[in-house]
Amino acid sequence: MGASLREVAEHAGVSVRTVSNVVNGFRYVADDTRARVQASIDELGYRPNMAARSLRRGRTGLVALVIPEVDSPYFAELAARTVRIAEARGLTVLIDQTDGDAERERRLLHGQRTQLVDGVLFNPWAVDPAELAARTDTVPLVLLGEHDSTAPVDHVAIDNVTAARAATAHLLSSGRRRVAALGLQPHVANATARRRLRGYREALTAAGLTPVPELEVPVRTLHRADGHRAMLGLLDLAEPPDAVFCFTDELALGALRAAADRGVAVPEDLALAGFDDIEDGRFSVPALTTISPDKNAIAELALDCLTGESRAPRAIVAPHELVVRGSS
């Protein structure tokens, strides 16, 4: 059986309150005292009673990260960063997957999946802005990704319009003039695809080009197979594109494979750019040019919102950058 708080205090020659302050991360403890207490904790094998602590604080130390797809490389990388950053703050992350199903997302909004947590980081795909605004659950919530919601909650996202404009402008800067956009999702409530389409169109307009409807390609999902299928359709056009801006790296990897299947050289005959900077894109042949969202910053900012002081909700923009590689 581990030592008690009192036994640690006696061993370190301090008060029980001082040990409690060290265990709970209270800032105003002298460095030498903190070191002495920590040495006693380590030597005696003291472990805090988390259940008792939760009862005293009215908090569990658990936060939920609710994402559409755990096996999506982007969301998997974001989840890994969130878990590491939360752990450093003494928090445990529970990860839930909605599959972009509207009913599962609604249950979360109305408190049927949040009973055990202190807060929720939520990236919805299916529920519309009105449903987000009509949320009845009182557990603190932070929205991730693009949404046209007026819900009174914090919202963390990158500037998808600016990012998409930069990716498209990069493709145009190499002399490409028939640039396609692959990844429209008119069936999804999430605004991400709409913002990326807007940035794509703005870049074309700035270059004196008119968007061409047949080059704006919708997909059912954002997976490699969808990118492969859509790219084959583009290559079958009477006048195929000379560049493609894919709304995710997964779509771009599928498009890259389709180009290889048809003997189309990348980037000589077809330039490609993706979005998300997933690890697979760094090892494809050629490596993918992409928009790299700062996933660490997204996780940091979202957790800051959950654990910070009470205030008016904010829309927070996380950093991103264009990473140019061999595909363009």
What secondary structure, in 3-state letters, does 145-198 show?
CCCCCCCCCEEEEECHHHHHHHHHHHHHHCCCCCEEEEEECCCCCCCHHHHHHH
Count Cβ atoms within 10 A of the Cβ of residue 254 and give its class: 0-12 exposed, 13-18 middle, 19 or more buried: buried
Q: What are the residues facing 289 on neighbouring strands?
A: 273
Check whether residue 68 and residue 133 sit in a common domain.
yes
**What pLDDT is stored for residue 90 in this prediction?**
86
Residue 200 confidence (pLDDT) = 98
With respect to residue 34, please indicate whether it lies within any of the assigned structural domains.
yes
Same domain, 165 and 289: yes
Give the integer Cα–Cα distance in Å for 285 and 101.
34
| 15-62 residue pLDDT tens | 888 887 787 666 678 888 888 988 888 888 777 654 444 434 456 788
**Backbone dihedral angles phi then psi of residue 58, each to the nearest 5 degrees:** 70, 20
Bridge partners for 96 per DSSP = 66
Claim to verify: residue 77 and residue 149 sit in the same structural domain: yes
- What are 65's strand-pairing partners? 95, 121
In a domain, residue 169? The reply is yes
CATH number at residue 16: 1.10.260.40
In a domain, 327, yes or no: no
Same domain, 141 and 170: no
One domain for residues 286 and 189 = yes
Q: What is the residue-level pLDDT of the chain in tens, covering all 328 positions?
A: 467 778 888 999 998 888 877 876 666 788 888 889 888 888 887 776 544 444 344 567 889 999 999 999 999 999 999 999 998 888 899 999 998 888 888 888 887 777 778 889 999 888 888 888 888 878 888 999 877 777 788 899 999 999 999 999 999 999 999 999 999 998 877 789 999 999 999 999 999 999 999 999 999 999 999 999 999 999 999 999 999 999 999 999 999 999 999 999 999 999 999 999 999 999 999 999 999 999 999 999 999 988 776 667 888 999 999 999 999 9
Q: How many domains does the chain have?
A: 3
User: What are the DSSP calls for 219-268, one per residue?
Assistant: -SSSSHHHHHHHHHHHHTSSS--SEEEESSHHHHHHHHHHHHHTT--TTT
Residues in the chain, how many?
A: 328
Domain span at residue 166? 160-293
What pTM does this model have? Answer: 0.80
User: Cα separation of 318 and 296, whole Å?
Assistant: 9
* Domain identity same for 275 and 172: yes
* Domain match, 33 and 79 both: no
Domain membership of residue 326 (yes or no) is no
- In this prediction, residue 48 carries a pLDDT of 64
* pLDDT on residue 27: 63
Return the closest-CA partner of residue 292 out of 257, 267, 320, 258: 320
- If asked whether residues 153 and 237 sit together in one domain, one would say no
- Sequence-distant (6+) residues with CB within 8 A of 140 are 118, 119, 120, 153, 305, 306
Same domain for 151 and 242? no
The predicted pLDDT at position 286 comes to 98
For residue 281, tell me if it sits in a domain. Answer: yes
User: What residue has token string 């429209």?
Assistant: 184
- Identify the pLDDT of residue 204: 98
Is there a domain that residue 55 lies in? Answer: no
Query: d(Cα 51, Cα 193) in Å, to the nearest integer?
Result: 43
Same domain, 20 and 102: no
The pLDDT value given to residue 306: 84
Same domain, 173 and 288: yes
Euclidean distance between CA atoms 22 and 35, whole angstroms = 9
Q: How far apart are CA 250 and CA 83, in angstroms?
A: 23
Same domain, 249 and 265: yes
What per-residue confidence (pLDDT) applies to 49? 54
Q: What CATH number is given to the structural domain containing 82?
A: 3.40.50.2300
Residue 111 included in any domain: yes
Tell me the C-alpha distance between 264 and 49, whole Å: 62
Q: Is residue 54 part of a domain?
A: no
